[in-house]
Amino acid sequence: MATLTFLTENKELIHAIEAWEEILLSLDGFTINAKLNKQKRSIKEILGHLSDSASNNTHRIIHLQYQDSPLLFPDYAFNGNNDRWIKIQDYQSENWINLVQRWKYLNLHFAHIVEHVDQSKYHNTWISGEGQRISLQEMIAGYYPHFRLHMNEIKELIGY
């Protein structure tokens, strides 16, 4: 069972997803394709990146509970690889409704698995692309501010 901190963060994550889904689906094609953040990503690409992040972190959480620690697991965000993921998956041409739903359900699933993590595995680590050891607990805790950072970028881009 997740710690109280993660349960609180999960509640906030789920609330944010519910609030943002309607806002995102109401955005017009120009806005989602043309508005660019500091990294020169469109809103579609930001949402795609958050989907990748939820998916990759989900895999890490699962692997960190049954594989030997430290875990050797690809760091998709290292050395610009997350930009490669965005380009290869071509989020810019993705159907917007499908992309929003993918973002929504990957993040809801992330929240679900966090609630069911074996706390005795929190100390298990994986080695990031920079060679840093990151514990399962640190990785989970780091996801929430990452999610908020990118949703705040979208907020700024749409003037919300």
Domain count for the chain: 1
pLDDT at 78: 65
Q: Exposed (0-12), middle (13-18) or buried (19+): which is 154, by Cβ within 10 Å?
A: buried
Q: Tell me: pLDDT of 2 over 70.
A: no
Query: Domain of 136?
Result: 4-158
pLDDT at 144: 97
Per-residue pLDDT tens over the stretch 110-127: 999 999 999 999 999 999
Q: From CA 158, how far away is CA 28, in angstroms rounded?
A: 10
Residue pair 78/26 in contact by the 8 Å Cβ criterion: no
Q: Return mean pLDDT, the chain.
A: 92
Q: From CA 75, how far away is CA 15, in angstroms rounded?
A: 28
Query: In the 3-class helix/strand/coil scheme, how is the chain assigned residue by residue?
Result: CCCHHHHHHHHHHHHHHHHHHHHHHHCCHHHHHHCECCCCCEHHHHHHHHHHHHHHHHHHHHHHHHCCCCEECCCCCHHHHHHHHHHHHCHHHCCHHHHHHHHHHHHHHHHHHHCCCCHHHCCCEEECCCCCEEEHHHHHHHHHHHHHHHHHHHHHHHCC
Reported as type and span, the H/E element at residue 126 is strand 125-127
Per-residue pLDDT tens over the stretch 67-108: 988 988 777 766 667 888 989 999 999 999 999 999 999 999
CATH number of the domain encompassing residue 119: 1.20.120.450
53-70 mean pLDDT: 94
